[in-house]
Amino acid sequence: MKNKLTLDALKAEARDFAKLESAHYEPTLFGVTDGKAVGTYFEHKFREHLAARFEFQQGSSAKGIDFPDLDVDMKVTSVKQPQSSCPYKSARQKIFGLGYSVLIFVYDKTDDPASSTGHLDVQHVIFVEKERTADFQTTTGICKILDNQGNKDDLLAFMEERMIIMDEIEAGNIADELLRTRPEIGYLTISNALQWRLQYRRVIDEAGTVPGVIRLN
């Protein structure tokens, strides 16, 4: 019987897998420049690595994340432009977080013409706890308003300036909620789009020095 995958085991295996993959040279990646193709290769291989050792729930389209029983999504991105997309659920995510944690692998890809292989040097493995997955500028801006005795009108004006798109009733409800409960500072940069665009430079820079952003390697 395989053990059930836990959050601690996922983090430990992510660290170990990054070392293994960084030492591997892969023929099917030679000449590949499409970041999505590289990410798909890496994600599938990591899931196979885990499946050989643990029982876990595979990602579901309903919840839209890779490890739904652990509330964790996996992202694989190039160090040259560390970003990815994720499903848009509501504007609240920018203020209160995505609703799940994010495991981020950041690689630098090179090709070796002599062996006709591609190489992924996994430079960063970072775990962002779900409480820290909101947008940095939005959450720090809201906290500054609250620290400066801001009221509901100040919060509504700020959300409008930040182009956080929602109807007036929802905006009012969120402003009331913020006056009752101060938001956690998030460390992602979340850009508005049909899908959220998540950018990771800040978590790479801050990992291991701020709460909830954990450097695994």
Domain count, the chain: 2
Model pLDDT, residue 139: 97
Residue 114 lies in a domain: yes
**Shared-domain flag, residues 17 and 78:** yes
**Shared-domain flag, residues 30 and 72:** yes
Model pLDDT, residue 165: 78
**Shared-domain flag, residues 169 and 112:** no
**Shared-domain flag, residues 198 and 153:** no
**Shared-domain flag, residues 82 and 150:** no
Residue 186 lies in a domain: no
Residue 37 lies in a domain: yes
The percentage of residues in the chain with a pLDDT greater than 90, rounded to a whole number, is 87
Residue 30 lies in a domain: yes
Residue 187 lies in a domain: no
**Shared-domain flag, residues 77 and 161:** no
CATH number at residue 203: 3.40.210
The percentage of residues in the chain with a pLDDT greater than 70, rounded to a whole number, is 98
* Whether pLDDT at 48 is above 70: yes
**Shared-domain flag, residues 45 and 149:** no
SS3 readout for the chain: CCEECCHHHHHHHHHHHHHHHHCCEEHHHCCCCCHHHHHHHHHHHHHHHHHCCEECCCCECCCCECECCCCEEEEEEECCCCEEEECCCCCHHHHHCCCCEEEEEEEEEEEECCCCEEEEEEEEEEEECHHHCCEHHHHHHHHHHHHCCCCHHHHHHHHHHCCCCCCHHHHHHHHHHHHHCCCCCCCEEEECCCCEEEECHHHHHHCCCCCCEEECC
pLDDT digit string (tens) for 104-150?
Answer: 999 999 999 999 999 999 999 999 999 999 999 999 999 999 999 99
Model pLDDT, residue 88: 87
Q: What is the C-alpha radius of gyration for the chain, rounded to an integer number of angstroms?
A: 19
pLDDT digit string (tens) for 51-94?
Answer: 999 999 987 555 689 999 999 999 999 999 999 999 888 889 99
Model pLDDT, residue 200: 97
Model pLDDT, residue 194: 66
Structural domain containing residue 170: 136-180
Q: Please, what is the average pLDDT of the chain?
A: 94
**Shared-domain flag, residues 122 and 83:** yes
* Whether pLDDT at 171 is above 90: yes
pLDDT digit string (tens) for 88-113?
Answer: 888 899 999 999 999 999 999 999 99
**Shared-domain flag, residues 122 and 205:** yes
**Shared-domain flag, residues 58 and 112:** yes
Residue 185 lies in a domain: no
**Shared-domain flag, residues 125 and 145:** no
Question: Using an 8 Å Cβ cutoff, are 89 and 55 in contact?
Answer: no
**Shared-domain flag, residues 83 and 8:** yes
Model pLDDT, residue 64: 80
Residue 188 lies in a domain: no
Residue 94 lies in a domain: no
